[in-house]
Amino acid sequence: MGALLAVVVLIALLAVLGTWAWRVLQSPGQVQTPGAGPRALPPWDRARQERAIAAARWVTAHDEVDGVTRVLLRRTCTGLDGRPEVLEERVFETFPAQDPLWEARFTEAMSGARFRCRYLNNEEQQE
């Protein structure tokens, strides 16, 4: 009975190890030979990525860099890992982060950026 249990555990371990090795070898760009570039995506991932890029949308964003507030337009899609991926980023407007009228300028810039995103998304849908 003990020998049979040992054989079952060994087979299960080999199955788990084989599954892990298969996933590592199949995941693009994860494991690379030193000096080699990233591997090409498998056809199903490439097709999924092409569909995601075709469905990309413009969205607004903002950040602060070196004391300057930037209102941004970003063209994003869902990456293969399920997280948002920025394909393109444009600065819509900038102004000092310490500006006494920051709140008003920010509100106006974000409103303008949202309008511009709607325009860009509509333009891309018509193509």
Q: What are the pLDDT digits (tens) for 7-48?
A: 777 888 888 777 777 776 665 554 444 555 566 777 878 788
Average pLDDT, integer, range 47-59 = 86
Mean pLDDT of 75-98: 91
b/e map 12-40, b = 16+ CB within 10 Å? eeeeeeeeeeeeeeeeeeeeeeeeeeeee
Q: Say yes or no to pLDDT of 3 above 60.
A: yes
Residue 102 has pLDDT above 70, yes or no: yes
Structure confidence by residue, pLDDT tens digits, 103-114: 999 999 999 999
67 — pLDDT class (breaks 50, 70, 90): very high
In DSSP notation, 13-66 reads: HHHHHHHHHHHHHHSTTTS--TT--PPPPPHHHHHHHHHHHHT-EEEEEEEEET
Q: Which pLDDT does position 17 carry in this prediction?
A: 78
pLDDT of residue 36: 54
Of residues 124 and 69, more confidence is placed in 69
DSSP letter at 100?
A: T
